[in-house]
Amino acid sequence: MTDNGHLSGEFFINGDVACAEGAISAGCRFFAGYPITPATEIAERMSRRLPVVGGTYIQMEDEIASMNAILGASWAGVKSMTSTSGPGFSLMMENIGLGVMLETPCVVVDIQRAGPSTGLPTLVGQQDVMQARWGSHGSYEIIALSPDSPQHMFDLTVKAFNLSEKYRVPVLIMSDEVVGHMSEKVVIPEISAADLIYRKMPQIGSGPYHPYKADESLVPPMAIAGQGYRFHVTGLTHDESGYPAMTAAAQDRLITRLVDKIKTHADDIILYDEYMTDDAEIVVCAYGITSRIARYAVKLARQQGIKAGFLQLITLWPFAERRVRELASRVKTFIVPEINRGQIVYEVERCSCGKARSLSVPHSGGDVHKPETILAAIKECHA
């Protein structure tokens, strides 16, 4: 362990623990959460580690409180995180919207299980990905990442903190029960300050501070409580000064910027991985745990001489729209296996603009796809 409490080296840990360690390495020093399967191990790890590295762990009375507590902590200048699963994620929705509106950096981890309602608490699902995008009311853009392994959990948690600090937006890690609970080798690198991003602060003495006055990056500098700026922020529609502005014009100005600050930086935010797509006629598009099975199914298809390729979505939101459009212009079919009854497939279909067919390989949850199921779908399209 280093002086600042980061671990480094090789570990055999599960995805939840890797996520917690990623947060500590990223500089997260505040965690508020509520017990829920299959995310509890993140909270437990944080409760053990944070006091040692000078941070604060608190178990709140529910997920609504947890979400608000991390927003409050972020405004006190501390990188903060919460973790949950479907039912808790639903409870957090309203205040994820508050995070978007106040432009508050923070990270929310959803270890997805099968729903709706209590569903299958101990078994996998990928059913919250549309909720991640649209779950809070109103028009907004958000960032959501989808890890496929414990190592990925670590890496993407660090990435999530960097993105949230850079763009002043809650970043969602849309993991799932299998990734959360599987143990694999995780290499934790030495993380230096240069690897980490911290929110832009206002320049002291540069005139009156307007909490929501942005430059061309569209991301305003963020003061924190106690620095003497005596600023006001509100969940109401506001102008650059931070005060309520109850007009359609102010609403348009604010919402356009909130949306554009993510959209115009989509290329910086979006991550995806590809396998054998160069000459592919059929592309399997998957994310999270399903991507590991899909990749294997594509390998099997290639062995059988089928020109199949694989697109792994690492960033779910903003959606990898441009890449899917490019592929759609030259592939015949997209196959989208996901552990839900069809969510991301609609995005793929939208971006294909009718140029390529989109086929859903749904799964109700509780289990992952069998490679044969995906392979059968590839073969069916090939025939």
Residues at the contact surface with another protein, assessed by CB under 8 A: 29-30, 32, 48, 51-52, 54, 56, 58, 60-62, 64-78, 80, 94-95, 98, 102, 225-236, 243-244
* Residues 100 and 172 sit within 8 Å (Cβ to Cβ): no
Nearer to another protein, 60 or 259 (CB): 60
Cβ at position 145, least distance to another protein in Å: 23
Nearer to another protein, 209 or 287 (CB): 209
Cβ at position 135, least distance to another protein in Å: 15
Element (H, E) at 297: helix 289-303
Q: How many CB atoms lie within 10 A of CB 196?
A: 15
CA trace torsion 291, 292, 295, 301 (10° rounding)? -110
Give residue 44's identity as a one-letter amino acid code. Answer: E
Residue 101's contacts (CB-CB under 8 Å, 6 or more residues apart) are 140, 235, 258
Cβ at position 61, least distance to another protein in Å: 4
Cβ at position 308, least distance to another protein in Å: 47
Contacts 24+ apart (CB under 8 A), 294-300: 294/337, 294/369, 294/374, 296/371, 297/371, 297/372, 297/374, 297/375, 297/378, 298/378, 300/371, 300/375
Cβ at position 38, least distance to another protein in Å: 24
Nearer to another protein, 18 or 67 (CB): 67
Nearer to another protein, 36 or 65 (CB): 65
Cβ at position 75, least distance to another protein in Å: 6
Cβ at position 67, least distance to another protein in Å: 8
Q: Find tokens 């007009």 and name the residue.
A: 247
- CA–CA separation, 355 and 368 (whole Å): 29
* Residues 344 and 287 sit within 8 Å (Cβ to Cβ): yes
Counting every residue written for the chain, the total comes to: 383
- CA–CA separation, 190 and 380 (whole Å): 47
The token duo for 191 is 């993380």
Nearer to another protein, 37 or 56 (CB): 56
Nearer to another protein, 192 or 230 (CB): 230
Nearer to another protein, 66 or 175 (CB): 66
At 129, give phi and psi (nearest 5°).
Answer: -75, -35
Cβ at position 232, least distance to another protein in Å: 5
Nearer to another protein, 52 or 187 (CB): 52
- CA–CA separation, 212 and 203 (whole Å): 14
Cβ at position 228, least distance to another protein in Å: 4
Q: Find tokens 């979006």 and name the residue.
A: 270
Cβ at position 138, least distance to another protein in Å: 12
* Residues 326 and 267 sit within 8 Å (Cβ to Cβ): no
The reply to whether omega before 116 is within 30° of 0 (cis) is yes
Residue 351 exposure: Cα atoms within 13 Å on the Cβ side:
18
Nearer to another protein, 83 or 333 (CB): 83
The reply to whether omega before 87 is within 30° of 0 (cis) is no
Residue 72's contacts (CB-CB under 8 Å, 6 or more residues apart) are none
Nearer to another protein, 187 or 236 (CB): 236
